[in-house]
Structures are given as structure tokens and as C-alpha cells.
Amino acid sequence: MGSSDHRTTARILDILETIASVQDGVSLSDLSRSLAIPKSSLHPLLCTLAERRYLHYLQREERYYLGENVFVLGNKYVNNHDILEQIKDVMQQVNQSTGETLYFGVLSKRDVLYLAKADLHSQFRVVSNPGNKLPAYSTGYGKALLSQFMPDQIHSLYPEGDLKPLTPQTVRNVEQLNVQLEGIRATGFAYEKGESTTGIQCVAVAIKVEGQVLAGMSIAVPEFRYTKEREEQFKTLLDDARAQIQRIIAGNRSQWIYSGEYNR
């Protein structure tokens, strides 16, 4: 449990994350500069990562790119267990009866990690793909997930107090956020009104099993299709789907590996 920092391990992760964050590859010297690691130290690490296909080195460009095996490894995170497939089935039923997109995700520190979606019957192109992270306070299901925390916990999660906004609609400070979270705890529903993407509104719920909030789910709707009447329909469907998913998770508790935080 000790928080011993192993430099080499941290470096390898830094390397992979740096290369992942850039579209057009990174050269050895680029990496050396941006991570403040000598080229001579970097070199053997990169060679081994490339040999194992976690990186590709394009000689003609003198640049490193991610290799296939990060994709292979990353997919093992979701493919080893079929619980997510069952959850997606439930989401697809709601998607089918509403025509709107469903999102499902978990908390990763202060971010919300988007694990799955259902948008087979939706009219719009995908906005985002699984594997992406967003600040929890900026999304509907992020706020549903945060609603498990009391004001003081939220304060210690965001010691700065200010929240970086993604759109003009995003909550800007912890006090406002806490007011919203109180409302979510009272009603069981979280709302997002263009706070992560302008023009998109969401209704969201928290997935709770044995008193622990494990995940969040939202339905995302373009503003111009969002009415009070439909909102009631979304809430009914979401609440029903929530119950089904909670039963699925409760029945496969050991398969739930998607949020380490709460089952230590």
C-alpha cells in the first residue's frame, strides 16, 4: 500500500501517455525534452517498447507512435468479463424506444471515464468514443457519480474551489456544484444542460449496489428535441434501466472491476 515511486515505471507510463496525447507521433528528442529525461536513458526503453509492439517507430519520419499492443491490452480491460455486454443490452432497449444516445461510465479520480454507449438508433454521429475522460463536474453522469460525496468531501477533491469550465454553461465553483449535488441526492436524477457540449442536454442516474455508487448512466438529447414531456419519459425509462443494471451487477459482483476506489 506504500506509495513508493518507482521512477522507471513512472517514466514508461509518461512515455506512453505523451505519445498517446499527440496526433502525429513524437521523436526521441521531443520526448527527451518534454519529459526531461536524457536521450540516452530514453533510448533502451523505447526500443523495448517498440520491440514488444507497444510503440511503432516510423524510420522515415523518425517518430514514435502507439503500437497495436496498447489496444490489445486496453481491450482486455472490458473483454475479460461479459457484464458490460449485459449492461449494454439494457441500454440499447432504452436507445431503441427513445432514439436517443445512452452513456455509461465510472469515476476515475476527478474524472468520469466513459465505458460504453448505445446509439444504434440515434440520428446523430458519435460525439465521443469509449475510453475518453471528462471532468466529472461537467457531465450529467459525472454529477450523478459525485452526488455520493458530501460537501466536505467535494471540497477536498477540489481544493482550488474553482472548476475549469468546458462551455459557458459549466458549473464554475464547488459551492454551486454542492447545491446541484444536494438536489441530485434528493431527487435521484442529475441534469446536464450543455455543460460539456453546447446544445446537448442529459438526464442521468447513479448506479448503486449495496449502498455503493459504482457507475453512472445518462441519456443525451439534442436541445431542440428536449421537452418537459419527453423528460418525464426519459426519467421513467432511466429509472427502470437503472434497476435492471443494478440487478445485473449485484448478481455478478465479482465481475465488477471497473471502479477500484470503492471496493478496497
Partner DNA sequence: GAACACTGTTCCTATATACGAACAACAAGG
Partner DNA sequence: CCTTGTTGTTCGTATATAGGAACAGTGTTC
Helix (H) or strand (E) segment spanning residue 15: helix 7-20
Q: Which of residues 99-138 bind its own copies (CB under 8 A)?
A: 106, 108-109, 113, 115, 120, 126, 129-133
For its own copies, the closer CB: 10 or 150: 10
Q: Which of residues 182-241 bind its own copies (CB under 8 A)?
A: none
Helix 28-35 to helix 39-51 angle (10° resolution) is: 120
Interface with its own copies: number of residues (CB under 8 A):
69
For its own copies, the closer CB: 121 or 164: 121
How many CA atoms lie within 13 Å of 129's alpha carbon, on the beta-carbon side?
0
Q: Collapsing DSSP states into helix, strand and coil, what is residue 34?
A: helix
User: Which of 95-126 are b and which e, b meaning 16 or more Cβ less than 10 Å from the residue's Cβ?
Assistant: beebebbbbbbbbeeebbbbbbbbbeebeeee
Q: Is 35 in the site for its own copies (CB under 8 A)?
A: no
Residue 168 · residue 203 · CB < 8 Å: no
For DNA, the closer CB: 63 or 235: 63
Q: Is 96 in the site for its own copies (CB under 8 A)?
A: no
Binding segment toward DNA, per CB under 7 A, in 5-13, 67-75, 196-204, 251-259: 5-13
List the one residue from 2, 168, 211, 260 that touches DNA (CB under 7 A): 2
Question: From edge to edge, which strands make up the β-sheet containing 101-108?
Answer: 133-135, 111-118, 101-108, 212-222, 200-209, 190-193
List the one residue from 13, 17, 20, 27 that touches DNA (CB under 7 A): 27
Q: What is the spatial distance between Cα 107 and Cα 134, in angstroms, rounded to a whole number?
A: 10
* Beta-bridge mates of residue 215: 207
List the one residue from 29, 34, 79, 153 that touches its own copies (CB under 8 A): 79
In the complex, which residues of this chain contact its own copies (CB under 8 A)? 1-6, 8-10, 12-13, 16-17, 20-21, 23-25, 43-45, 47-49, 51-54, 56-60, 65-81, 85, 106, 108-109, 113, 115, 120, 126, 129-133, 254, 257-258, 260, 263-264
